[in-house]
């Protein structure tokens, strides 16, 4: 664990008492199966999601400790803010929803739960702790070069999604949105009936499952539009 933090933060230059105080706040979480699984999830270039979560946790802890806030909850919320990504390959739902469920499983406080639920703006933050975790997440992600690999993965996913959907007969155009977590497909109404839409959505979903690797789930939204035009003279 110390090596992971040292990859971004030099704890040897920190007060050892502070470092030990931080470790004590997360000692019961660090070896859990879900937290350890974050080591297999890529985050920023050579940084794993585990290392990123430790950084967010430690930044949050230090900020709250400096200003006399709840550093204990901040450290735990920072470590758990992306915990849903450790299971979103196997379960339906966004990593935020799955993370909130895991926090409830761990019986974390309402403060920690809100920080996890609000770190991407899905719900409103109800405490300064939530805002500080958001800020720490941004700090970790804003390091030079941190988002390069994420950007490439993102753009490739969008292109692959649109290539797959556009290959189906009757598809006029498609748009991958929500960072590749949803694809909207516009079909030609003369070629695709309302009954065909159901089959098309299923076929596209199956093809995506077979050909792409992605976290969580991808929503397939098929849209069929009919227009009638007349003129009043």
150 confidence band (pLDDT: 50, 70, 90): low
Predicted TM-score (pTM) of the model is: 0.61
Residue 39 belongs to a domain? yes
- Pair (80, 180) in one structural domain: no
- Pair (39, 62) in one structural domain: yes
- Pair (165, 58) in one structural domain: no
- Pair (127, 152) in one structural domain: no
CATH number for the domain including 77? 1.10.3210.10
Closest C-alpha among 216, 190, 220 to residue 203:
220
- Pair (10, 101) in one structural domain: yes
pLDDT value at 148 more than 70: no
Mean pLDDT of the chain: 84
* Domain end marker among 141, 174, 201: 141
Residue 50 belongs to a domain? yes
**How would DSSP label each residue in the chain?**
-HHHHHTTS-GGGS-HHHHHHHHHHHTTTTTSHHHHHGGGSEEETTEEHHHHHHHHHHHHHHHHHHTTS-HHHHHHHHHHTTGGGGTTTTSSS-HHHHHHHHHHHTT--HHHHHHHHHTTTSS---SHHHHHHHHHHHHHHTSTTTTHHHHHHHHHHHHHHHHHHHTSTTEEEEEEEGGGTEEEEEE-TTT--HHHHHHHHHHHHHHHHHH---SS--EEEEEE---------
195 or 9, greater pLDDT: 195
- Pair (127, 157) in one structural domain: no
- Pair (90, 7) in one structural domain: yes
- Pair (180, 110) in one structural domain: no
Please compute the mean of the pLDDT values over residues 117-131 and round it to a whole number. Answer: 92
Our CA dihedral for 76, 77, 83, 84, rounded to 10 degrees, sits at 150
Tell me, rounded to whole angstroms, the distance of Cα 179 from its chain centroid.
10
- Pair (34, 123) in one structural domain: yes
* Domain end marker among 141, 169, 186: 141
Q: What percent of the chain has pLDDT over 90?
A: 48
Residue for token digits 């849209």? Answer: 223
Is the separation of the CB atoms in 122 and 134 below 8 Å? no
- Pair (6, 117) in one structural domain: yes
Count of structural domains, the chain: 2
- Pair (82, 49) in one structural domain: yes
pLDDT value at 82 more than 80: yes
Q: What is the pLDDT of residue 135?
A: 93
CATH number for the domain including 198? 3.30.300.30
Domain that holds residue 40: 2-141
8 or 99, greater pLDDT: 99
Residue 70 belongs to a domain? yes
């Amino acid at each position: 664990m110390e090596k992971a933090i040292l990859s971004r933060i030099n704890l040897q230059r920190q007060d050892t008492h502070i470092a030990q105080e931080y470790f004590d706040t997360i000692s019961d979480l660090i070896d859990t199966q879900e937290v350890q699984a974050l080591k297999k999830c890529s985050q920023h270039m050579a940084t794993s999601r585990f290392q990123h979560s430790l950084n967010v946790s430690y930044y949050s802890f230090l900020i709250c400790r400096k200003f006399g806030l709840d550093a204990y909850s901040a450290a735990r919320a920072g470590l758990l803010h992306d915990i849903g990504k450790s299971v979103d390959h196997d379960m339906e739902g966004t990593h935020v929803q799955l993370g909130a469920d895991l926090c409830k499983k761990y019986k974390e406080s309402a403060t920690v739960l809100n920080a996890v639920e609000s770190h991407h703006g899905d719900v409103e933050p109800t405490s300064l702790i939530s805002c500080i975790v958001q800020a720490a997440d941004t700090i970790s992600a804003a390091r030079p070069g941190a988002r390069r690999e994420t950007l490439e993965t993102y753009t490739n996913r969008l292109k692959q999604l649109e290539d797959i959907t556009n290959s189906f007969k009757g598809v006029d155009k498609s748009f991958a949105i929500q960072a590749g977590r949803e694809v909207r497909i516009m079909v030609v109404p003369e070629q695709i009936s309302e009954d065909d839409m159901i089959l098309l959505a299923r076929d596209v979903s199956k093809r995506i499952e077979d050909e792409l690797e992605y976290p969580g789930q991808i929503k397939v939204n098929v849209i069929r539009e009919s227009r009638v035009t007349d003129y009043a003279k």
